[in-house]
């Protein structure tokens, strides 16, 4: 895998003439959180809507939700694409996007988990820009490791994910280990996922009754 990094301060926005779309993964078991993370309201906004807002702020107008959560702002909701994990969700959502698109494929496709309460549009913009310099796309790097669920993947990567999935692979990390992916260095907090109630300290959380 390529290891060249792009600093968040070195990029000013998304490349022009791109046809990007986004996949937001929802519908996991959320056992450690104790509540559905996608619909959990954090500072007055559900976590899935926070991610979708960042996507929209980055200028991406086509979004697909992979999972069972009811997210009305997205253009498509897949019935249960993520039942077998993130790789299954990405493959199902990509197939849906391709079926709904016209002759020009989406390139790149931003892939995000729904539990990213600190995510900002700038990170997405930088991923889109960096992805166009690499055959498979670009992933965020938090200083410790790459984050495959905060990434912008190109069609070659998505086709390879599909092959991996139908060959029985369920790990996106294992599937992508040898890919030419750019790394976009970001502050760790911006791409930190919220898995437990302790991860949401500092936010006002509306817990379901």
Distance between CA atoms of residues 198 and 15, nearest Å: 37
Distance between the two ends of the chain, CA-based, in angstroms? 45
Spatial contact of 151 and 128, defined as CB atoms under 8 Å apart: no
Q: Mapping DSSP to helix (H, G, I), strand (E, B) and coil, where does residue 105 land?
A: coil
| Tens of pLDDT, residues 101-154 | 765 778 999 999 999 999 999 999 999 999 999 999 999 999 999 999 999 999
For 24-63, the pLDDT digits (tens) are: 998 666 677 878 888 899 999 999 999 999 999 999 988 8
Distance, in Å, from the CA atom of 186 to the CA atom of 114, rounded to the nearest integer, reads 18
Q: Would you state the pLDDT for residue 106? A: 87
Q: Are 153 and 175 in contact (CB under 8 A)?
A: no
Burial bucket for residue 18 (CB in 10 Å: 0-12, 13-18, 19+): middle
Tell if the pTM clears 0.75, that is, is over it.
yes
Query: Is 5-197 a domain of CATH 3.90.550.10?
Result: yes
The string of pLDDT tens digits covering residues 164-180 is 999 999 999 999 999 99
The predicted pLDDT at position 2 comes to 36
């Amino acid at each position: 895998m390529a290891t060249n990094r792009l600093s968040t301060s070195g990029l000013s926005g998304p490349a022009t003439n791109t046809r990007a779309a986004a996949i937001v993964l929802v519908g996991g078991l959320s056992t450690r959180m104790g509540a559905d993370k996608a619909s959990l309201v954090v500072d007055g906004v559900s976590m899935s809507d926070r991610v979708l807002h960042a996507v929209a702020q980055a200028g991406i107008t086509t979004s697909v939700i992979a999972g069972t959560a009811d997210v009305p702002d997205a253009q498509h909701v897949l019935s249960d694409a993520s039942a077998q994990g993130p790789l299954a969700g990405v493959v199902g959502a990509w197939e849906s996007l391709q079926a709904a698109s016209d002759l020009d494929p989406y390139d790149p496709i931003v892939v995000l988990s729904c539990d990213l309460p600190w995510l900002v549009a700038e990170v997405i913009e930088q991923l889109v820009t960096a992805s166009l310099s690499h055959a498979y796309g670009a992933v965020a790097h938090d200083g410790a490791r790459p984050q495959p669920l905060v990434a912008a993947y190109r069609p070659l990567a998505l086709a390879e994910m599909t092959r991996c999935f139908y060959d029985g692979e369920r790990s996106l990390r294992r599937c992508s280990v040898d890919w030419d992916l750019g790394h976009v260095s970001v502050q760790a907090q911006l791409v930190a996922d919220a898995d437990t109630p302790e991860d949401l300290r500092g936010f006002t959380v509306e817990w379901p009754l």
